[in-house]
Homo-oligomer: A and B are copies of this chain.
Amino acid sequence: MKALDRVRRLFVALAILGMTLTLASVAVAQADTPPPAASAAATPADLAQRVADLEAYVTNGAPKALITAGPGHNAWMMTSSALVLFMTLPGLALFYGGLVRRKNVLSVVAQCFGCAGLVTILWWAIGYSLVFAPGNPVLGGSKFALLAGVTSLPNADYGAWVSQNVFAMYQLMFAIITPALIVGAIAERMKYTAIMAFILGWMFLIYFPLAHMVWGVDGMLNGVWNAKASIKAIDFAGGTVVHMSSGWSALVLSLILGKREGFGQRPFLPHSLVLTAVGTGMLWVGWYGFNAGSAVASDGIAANAFTTTTLATGVACAVWPALEWITRRQPTVLGFCSGAVAGLVVITPGAGFVSPSGAVAIGVLAGVVPFFACTKLKNWLGYDDALDTFGVHGVGGTMGALLTGFFATPDVNGNLSTNLSGIVGKSLWLEQLKAMGLTIVMATAGTVVLAYAVKALFGLRPGKDEEETGLDATDHGESGYHYEEAGG
């Protein structure tokens, strides 16, 4: 029985390894498309044109002949990619890890790392292509499978001056953190294999299609860039794709899973708010890559996104503890952290579209609404969203997507004057509502299907005893801390 099981695991793993190596060799053999000679100046172009191309570099315009990655833009996008990775590892791992009980801290960390490993492989194999290759309004094609043709030259569909391979890595970091966010809702009570299997399916069923719809050049929700989008919605850095998708999936999954053993009877205290505060700081810092990087350039739109992100977050980080101070006289560190993260979440979809003062208003609401979602709504409805993924990301992302519809202005982002000139400031919020509805339906329906499939195949929860012992020991065979000389 045990031997058989071991053989099965060996087989599965060898299959995966083998497939990866085979795909890699195929890709190596095919040889990546050789990049054109480094200096595009080789083609004769008259001087004025050459100067115009250089000016296009500075202003992030479209070049005629100088098709190359631009140093300033590439520098910012590489920095942004690193920052978004930093959000997950170690940022989110710490933020969530500090909130669970000591015996589960590593399980949360392992889930974050697991997302990084698994999604990297998927993204390289086919994920990037399904999202960003041209395809149909719902899903991209296979042109970029194995990252074929994804070189250091820009792909003008997404950024005229940024290496496409950097863009692909930048987007990979988004694809890593999104499923990792779900972990917060189901922390402390789901088997590791079940989580990983769920996430594998979730990427294909929900993330890849949704990201393509919203950001793919021919996606059906891509109001800014796709003139033919059936729903003319906007989402700068992932209100629907990242926060709503993960937040609503998290809610459904936590309902299907049920509550943790002893929930509501015993106090479940965060084992280290220090770690949570550290993680919050890292999330905030990393989020600049997330939001300002979503301009896919180091231009004025990035600058605006940087500004709105700071203002909304700073304000929300003051408002949440202020509400605690009013209601209970004690502003808490967890309140500061929750406020900051809520601010970051809510400004995300609008960061590059709203004005600084719009961001302040959004920040106030980001401090108020998720506060009530986490402290009142949850208790009232009685679900066990362990670390408030739904309360913060679900509720905050949903609100942010809607507010973006009201606050977006072409004053800060000229791209709103092209395909959307007729609706910005008018009916845009209706389009947002439609996109939000579609996202909620996809996320919840997809999660129901996947959760029951995984339950049938692997089972979702560990045994009662295992849950009491803690997942660190049972799923990973480790302890987070050995502060004492001889183990324990």
> Are B81's CB and A306's CB within 8 A?
yes
Main secondary structure of the interface of A (DSSP, over half): helix
Known: A28-B407, A300-B69. A307 touches B169 (CB 8 A): yes
Give the contact stretch, choosing among A36-44, A216-224, A430-438: A36-44
> Are B47's CB and A58's CB within 8 A?
no
Known: A117-B336, A303-B152, A330-B477. A361 touches B41 (CB 8 A): no
Q: Is A156 an interface residue (CB 8 A)?
A: no
Residue of B nearest to A32 (CB): B355
> Are A70's CB and B68's CB within 8 A?
no
Chain B residues positioned under 8 Å from A409 (CB to CB) = 31
Known: A27-B357, A358-B24. A59 touches B40 (CB 8 A): yes
Chain B residues positioned under 8 Å from A411 (CB to CB) = 31-32, 34-35
Give the contact stretch, choosing among A93-101, A252-260, A445-453: A93-101
User: How many copies of this chain does one complex carry?
Assistant: 3
9 A-B pairs in the complex with CB atoms less than 8 angstroms apart:
A5-B329, A47-B48, A72-B73, A74-B76, A75-B76, A85-B284, A101-B485, A114-B318, A274-B481
Residue of B nearest to A11 (CB): B326
Known: A39-B59, A70-B58, A480-B274. A89 touches B285 (CB 8 A): yes
Chain A interface residue count, CB cutoff 8 Å, equals: 170
Contact with A355, one of B27, B121, B289, B326 (Cβ below 8 angstroms): B27
> Are B298's CB and A78's CB within 8 A?
yes
Q: How far is the CA of A120 from the CA of B40 in the complex (A)?
A: 41
Known: A59-B39, A71-B70. A274 touches B322 (CB 8 A): no
Give the contact stretch, choosing among A242-250, A275-283, A376-384: A275-283
Q: Is A325 an interface residue (CB 8 A)?
A: yes
Q: Is A292 an interface residue (CB 8 A)?
A: yes
Contact with A302, one of B74, B281, B311, B407 (Cβ below 8 angstroms): B74
> Are A38's CB and B300's CB within 8 A?
yes
Q: How far is the CA of A13 from the CA of B318 in the complex (A)?
A: 11
Question: Smallest Cβ distance from A428 to chain B, in angstroms?
Answer: 15
Q: How far is the CA of A476 from the CA of B275 in the complex (A)?
A: 17
Q: Which of A89, A91, A101, A121 has the most CB of B within 10 A?
A: A89
Q: Is A426 an interface residue (CB 8 A)?
A: no
Q: Is A392 an interface residue (CB 8 A)?
A: no
> Are B330's CB and A475's CB within 8 A?
yes
Residue of B nearest to A319 (CB): B17
Q: How far is the CA of A32 from the CA of B51 in the complex (A)?
A: 31
Q: Is A147 an interface residue (CB 8 A)?
A: yes
> Are A74's CB and B298's CB within 8 A?
yes
> Are B281's CB and A86's CB within 8 A?
yes
Contact with A481, one of B40, B150, B483 (Cβ below 8 angstroms): B483
Give the contact stretch, choosing among A135-143, A204-212, A263-271, A458-466: A263-271
Q: Which of A74, A86, A151, A361 has the most CB of B within 10 A?
A: A74
Question: Smallest Cβ distance from A56 to chain B, in angstroms?
Answer: 8
Chain B residues positioned under 8 Å from A270 (CB to CB) = 482
Chain B residues positioned under 8 Å from A152 (CB to CB) = 299-301, 303-304, 412
Q: A17-B322, A82-B83, A334-B478 are in contact. List 7 more A-B contacts (CB 8 A).
A: A27-B355, A32-B411, A60-B71, A105-B274, A117-B319, A121-B315, A481-B483
Question: Smallest Cβ distance from A105 to chain B, in angstroms?
Answer: 6
> Are B81's CB and A314's CB within 8 A?
no
> Are B483's CB and A314's CB within 8 A?
no
Question: Smallest Cβ distance from A278 to chain B, in angstroms?
Answer: 4
Contact with A147, one of B50, B319, B356, B476 (Cβ below 8 angstroms): B356
Q: Is A486 an interface residue (CB 8 A)?
A: yes
Known: A10-B326, A39-B59, A101-B485. A147 touches B357 (CB 8 A): yes
> Are B322's CB and A150's CB within 8 A?
no
> Are A306's CB and B78's CB within 8 A?
yes
Q: Is A344 an interface residue (CB 8 A)?
A: no
Give the contact stretch, choosing among A160-168, A180-188, A226-234, A393-401: A160-168
Chain B residues positioned under 8 Å from A310 (CB to CB) = 81, 85, 120, 169, 172
Question: Smallest Cβ distance from A12 to chain B, in angstroms?
Answer: 8
Q: Which of A68, A116, A280, A487 has the most CB of B within 10 A?
A: A116
Known: A21-B361, A48-B47, A477-B332. A109 touches B274 (CB 8 A): yes
Known: A50-B55, A303-B78. A109 touches B72 (CB 8 A): no
